[in-house]
Structure 1
Amino acid sequence: MMRSLLDHLLIVPIVLPLVVGGAMLLLGERRTRLKAGINVAATAALLATAVALLRRVNAGGVEVAVYLPANWPPPFGIALAADRLSAAMLVLTSIMALCSLVFAIARWHRAGVHFHPLFQFQLMGLNGAFLTADLFNLFVFFEVLLAASYGLLLHGSGPDRVKAGLHYIVVNLVGSSLFLIGVSMIYGVSGSLNMADVALRIAQMRDGEHLLLQAGAAILGVAFLLKAGAWPLNFWLPPAYAAASPPAAALFSVMTKMGIYVILRLSLLLFGDDAGASAGFGSHWLLLIGLITLSFGALGMLAAQNLPRLVGFSAIVSSGTLLAAAGFRSPAVTAGALFYLVNSTLALGAFYLLLELIERSRSYGADLLALTREAFGLDRLQVDDDDDADTGDAGVAIPAAMAFLGLAFVACALLLTGLPPMSGFVAKFVLLSSVLNPGGLTPDVGSGVPASAWVMTGLVIGSGLTGLIALARMGVRTFWAPSGRAVPRLRVIEVLPITALLALCVALTFQAGPAMRYFEAAAAALHAPHDYIRGVMAARQVGATAGVLP
C-alpha cells in the first residue's frame, strides 16, 4: 500500500524539529537573526501540521491515525498514533511554542548559547511523547525533552538559575531512573512495550503477574507525578520556573501537562474495565494525591511573596485539579478536565511572559528586573517631572504600557482563579458540574453525590478564592502602591504573544460549545480505548495487506 503525503504528517512533528535543531547547531552563534527566522518558520510549520492532524482525526472517518516509521508490524516495531487528545496537545504545544519564541526574539534568545536548537529539541521531545504508542520510545522522548529543558532552564546564566537548575536536574534524573525501572518491570511481566499490545495482554495475566504489573505501573506513575508537579514531589517547581527565563517558563507550562497526559493515557488504556484484576488501579491514589496537591498549591499562593513563585504555585493548583479529576474515572469529568487543561496552560503561559514586563517597572530589588539587567543592561524610562507634578483636576494620564500590563494582569488573574467572564470560569463550571453530576447536567435523584466530589468542589472553589486574594494583594503591591515608578518600554514583539494567548482564552469563552463537544469525544475515546487499540494493532505496513486484530 502506497502512502499519500497526508499519511506522513504524523512523523513531521518529530522529524522537523530534529532536522531544524541539528541544522542550527552548524550555524555560528553570531547568526542569531538567521536562527530566529528558521526557528519561527519551523515552529509555524509545526502549528500548521498539528492543526491538520487535529482536523483529520476529528473528521469522523479516522479517529486514530497510525504511522509505522520502520514499517514493522505491531507490536514489534515503533508505532506513532494520534487521536483527538494527542492532536489537541500538539496544537497546544505549538501555540505555546510560537508565542514563547516570538517573545524570546525580543531579547532572551541572545542571553546564552544554543537557545534555538534547544528550543527545537524541546519541541521534538514533547511532540514525540504525545504521539508515541510505545513505552520505551516514550522514555526516549522523555529524555530528549528533559535534556533540552536543562539547557533552557540555565539559559541566561546567573546564580539563581544555576541553583534552581541543579535541583531540577537532580530531581529529574531520579525521575528518569524510576521511569526506566517501571518500564522494565512492565516489559518483564507483559513481554511487550507497545501500549496497545500491553493493554490486550493484561486481561490474560495471572494474579501474581497482575501484582508485578501494578508495581511497575506505580513506579512509572511516580516518575510522571514528579513531572506533573504532584505533592510531595513538587518542591522543585516554583523555584525552577521562577528562575527560568520567561519564554522557557511559558514552554515548561506545557511540559508539566505532559505528565498529566501520560497519566491519563496509561491509566485509562492499561487499567480500564477490561483489565481484569487490575481494572481501576491507582484511581483512588490519583484522587487523593490530586486533592492534597490542590490544597498545597492554594496555600502556597497565599504564602508567596513575589509574582514568579505565585504563578508557580498556580501551576501546582492546576496540576492538582487535573490529577483529582483523573481519579474520578468519569468521561464527563475527563472532558471538563481537558477543557480546564487547555485554559490553564494558555493562562499560565501568558502570565509567565507577562512577568518580565511587569518587573521592569518595579524597584531595583525586583528579582526578574535584576536578572534582566544583568543579562541585557536594560535602560529604564523615567517619568518626566512635569508629569509627576501634574496633579490637577484633569488627573494623571495612564501610560499605554501600564494600561496594557494592568489589563493583562487582571485577565490572567480572572483566568487562573476561574472568575467570570473569562474561560477559566467556564472550565471550572463544566468540571465541577461533571464532578457533582457525572451522569449529566441533570442530577440523578436516586444516587447521592460521593463525599470526594464535595471535597473536590470545596477545594476548587477555595483555591480560586485564595488565588484571588493572593493575586489581588500582589496586584496592589505592583500597580497601586508604588509611587514615582518608571514606565517600562514595551516592544510590539513582546506584547503580541501575550495578547494572542489571552485572545485565545477569550475565543474559548465564546466557542465553549464546540470545544466541549471535541473534548467530550476525546474523553469518550479515552474511556473506551477499543478504537485506539484496534487502530494501532491493525496498522498497515507499506506494501502489505491490512493487519487483523485477533
Structure 2
Amino acid sequence: MSGFLAHLPVLPILVPLAGAAIMLFFDERRRRLKARINVATTIVLALASLALLVETAADPNTAQVYRLGDWPAPFAIVLVADPLASLMVMLTSLLALASLTFSLARWHRSGAHFHSLFQILLMGLNGSFLTGDLFNLFVFFEIMLAASFGLLLHGSGAPRIRASLQYIAINLAASSLFLLGVSLIYGVTGTLNMADLSLRMAMVAPGDRTLLEAGAALLSVSFLVKAGMWPLCFWLPQAYSVASAPVAAIFVITSKVGIAVILRLSLLIFGQEASFGSEVLLAGGLATIAFGAIGVLASQAMGRIASFSVLVSSGTLLAAIGFSSPAVTAGALFYLVSSTLTICAFFLLIELVERGREPGADVFAVTAEAYGLDEPDEEEVLHESEEVGVAIPATIAFLGIGFFACALLIAGLPPLSGFVAKVAMLTAVLNPAGFGAESANAPVGVWGWSFVALLILSGLATLLAMLRTGIRIFWVPNEGSMVQRVRVIEYAPVVGLLALCVAMTAAGEPVMSFMRAAATAVHAPDAYVRGVLPDGSPAVPDGENENGVEAIQ
C-alpha cells in the first residue's frame, strides 16, 4: 500500500481518539453537538474499517503492518491488520453504529460523558484487535475496561451500581493477572512483540519453559475472564442484564476480545502443532455451553436470556478454538459474526418490548402459571370465543417479527446464518478428513461428539426459552401492558443488524470463503511474522544474551 491507504491500520484507533478528545472540550449542556460529533466520528470509523477490510480481503495472505514512528520491529509499536483483525474491527464498527443510533432516541441523555466514553471504548476495542505486541495489548485492554466501567453505570440505579462493583473487581483482578503474565513472558524471552515471540520460542532454555508457560497461563486466564468461560463467568449475566440497552449491545463485542486474542496468541506463539491449553479450552468451552444453556432455560427475564446467550456463544467459540483445526475455526468465525450481530439486536429489541410492560411481568407470569392463577373462567372463555378476531397493533407486529428472527438466529434454526454457522462447525468436527491429509483417518472422539451434542442441545434450550417468552409477551393478552410508541431511530438498528444476518445467509459462500482465508492465515501465521519481521529472524540488540534477555553488566 502507498499514500493514504498506508495509514488505514491506524485510523480505527486515531479516529475515535480524536472524536473523544474533541467532545471533552464541550460540557454536557452541549449534548446535541456532542451527539453529532459522535455520529460523524462513528461513520468515519465505519468507512475506514470497511476500507481496511476490503484491502485485507484483496490479499488475505499478506498482513498489513503499520510501524509508529517508522522504527524497526520489534522495537517499534506495530499495528498489524490481517483478515482476523480487520474482520473484528469491522464488526465493532457495525455494532457501534447500531448502538449509537439506538441511544440517540433517549439513552444518551441518561448520564454524563456518554459520547466520549463510547468513543474511548471503540478505541480500546480496535487497538486490542490491531496491536502487534503484548504491552500495547495491555494498554488498549485497560482503555477498553476503563470506558466500560463508566458505560455500565450509565443511567444510574442501584442494580447497575451493584453490578458495576462486581464488574470492576473481577476485571481489575484479571488485569493484575494480565500484567503478571506479561512480566513473566518478557523476563524469559526479552520481547513482547508477538511476531518476535513466535521466533524466540525455539530459543527458550528448557529450564525457563515452565516460567514461559506459567506466564502464558496467567495471560490466558485474564482473557478467559473477559470471554466469560465457566467458572469465571459469574459476573457477566448480572452486568449485561442491568446495563442500558445500547451499552449492553456494544458490550457483546467486548466479550469477543478475549476469544480473538486467545485464538491469535495460541497459534502464533505456540504454533499449530502445540497442544498447550487446547484441552482446557475444549473442556471449559463445553462447560460454558452447558452452563449458558441451563441459564437460558432458567431465566425468566429477557435480559437474562440474552446475557446467558452470550455465554453460549463464548463457550461455542472457545471449544471450537480448542480443536485447533482451520476448518472448525472458519465455521467459528462465521458463527462469531452471526451470533454477535444477533445478540446485539436482541438487547436493543428487549428494551422496546419491555417498555410497555409492567415491572416484574415475567416473574409474575411464571408464578401465575405454576399456581394456575392465569386460567380464565368459563364465562371469559365463552365471551372470547364469540370474537371474530383481535386487531394486532403495527408496533407489536414489528416487534414480534424481530423477536421471531432473533429466536431463529440464536437457536441456530434454518434458514438463517445461525444455522449455516452451526452446520459449518458440525461438518468440520464430524468430517476430520476435511482438516487435511494427516488427519484423514482420525476418529471424531469424545470431544467431538460432546461438542456436537451440546451445540444441538443448547440450540434446543434457546428455542424453548424463546418460545416460552414469546408466547407470554406476544400471544397471551396482558391487561397491564400498553402498546408504546417506537421511533424509527430505535427500530432501524434492529432491522439493520438482522438484515446483515440475512445478507450473510444469502452470500454464504463468499462470506465463508473469507472466513476460511482468515482461519488459514491464523493457523499458518508465516505472513504475519514476515510482515512484522521481514528478515525472518528475531532481533537481539546489544547487551542481550542468547536467550534474548538483557544481560546484567
TM-score (norm 2): 0.91
Residue identity over aligned pairs, in percent, reads 57
Q: Contact (CA 8 Å) 1:122, 1:149: kept in 2 or not?
A: yes
Show CA shifts across 1:114-136 (max 9, x none): 00000000000000000000100
Q: Contact (CA 8 Å) 2:300, 2:362: kept in 1 or not?
A: no
Q: 1:269 to 1:245 in 2, by over 3 A?
A: same
- Amino acid aligned to 1:281: F
- Paired position in structure 1 for 2:283: 288
Please list every run of 5 or more consecutive structure 1 residues that lacks an aligned counterpart in the other structure: 369-388, 539-546
* Aligned pair partner of 2:398 in 392, 395, 404: 404
- Compute the displacement of 1:442 (Å): 11
CA distance in 2, matches of 1:526, 1:132: 15
Q: Contact (CA 8 Å) 2:83, 2:518: kept in 1 or not?
A: yes
RMSD: 1.9
Deviates more, 1:471-480 or 1:138-147: 471-480
- Amino acid aligned to 2:411: T
Show CA shifts across 1:257-300 (max 9, x none): 111000101001011147xxxx2211111111101111111111
- Compute the displacement of 1:13 (Å): 0.7
- Paired position in structure 2 for 1:323: 318
Pairs within 5 Å for 1:444-483: 446-483=441-478
- Compute the displacement of 1:63 (Å): 2.0
Q: Contact (CA 8 Å) 1:333, 1:438: kept in 2 or not?
A: no
- Paired position in structure 2 for 1:542: none
- Compute the displacement of 1:3 (Å): 5.2
- Paired position in structure 1 for 2:374: none
CA distance in 2, matches of 1:488, 1:503: 24
- Paired position in structure 1 for 2:377: none
> Are residues 1:440 and 2:441 paired?
no
CA distance in 1, matches of 2:531, 2:162: 46
- Compute the displacement of 1:62 (Å): 6.6
- Compute the displacement of 1:481 (Å): 2.3
Q: Contact (CA 8 Å) 2:432, 2:442: kept in 1 or not?
A: no
Q: 1:12 to 1:158 in 2, by over 3 A?
A: same
Please list every run of 5 or more consecutive structure 2 residues that lacks an aligned counterpart in the other structure: 364-382, 539-553
CA distance in 2, matches of 1:364, 1:317: 27
- Paired position in structure 2 for 1:332: 327
Say how many residue pairs are matched: 517
CA distance in 1, matches of 2:130, 2:62: 14
Q: Contact (CA 8 Å) 2:60, 2:517: kept in 1 or not?
A: no
Q: 1:479 to 1:221 in 2, by over 3 A?
A: same
Show CA shifts across 1:317-349 (max 9, x none): 000000000000000000000000000000010
Q: Contact (CA 8 Å) 2:61, 2:521: kept in 1 or not?
A: no
- Amino acid aligned to 1:513: E
**SS of structure 2 residue aligned to 1:68:** strand
- Paired position in structure 1 for 2:188: 189
- Compute the displacement of 1:393 (Å): 5.5
**SS of structure 1 residue aligned to 2:65:** strand
Q: Contact (CA 8 Å) 1:534, 1:549: kept in 2 or not?
A: no
Moved beyond 3 Å, runs of 4+: 364-368, 389-394, 441-447, 547-550
Q: 1:439 to 1:73 in 2, by over 3 A?
A: same
**SS of structure 1 residue aligned to 2:230:** coil
Q: Contact (CA 8 Å) 1:202, 1:210: kept in 2 or not?
A: no
Show CA shifts across 1:373-431 (max 9, x none): xxxxxxxxxxxxxxxx9997552221111001111111111111100111111110111
- Compute the displacement of 1:70 (Å): 2.0
CA distance in 1, matches of 2:188, 2:109: 49
- Paired position in structure 2 for 1:44: 43
TM-score (norm 1): 0.91
Q: Contact (CA 8 Å) 2:124, 2:142: kept in 1 or not?
A: yes
CA distance in 2, matches of 1:272, 1:172: 28
> Are residues 1:302 and 2:297 paired?
yes
Q: Contact (CA 8 Å) 2:286, 2:454: kept in 1 or not?
A: yes
**SS of structure 1 residue aligned to 2:80:** strand
> Are residues 1:174 and 2:173 paired?
yes
Q: 1:260 to 1:442 in 2, by over 3 A?
A: closer
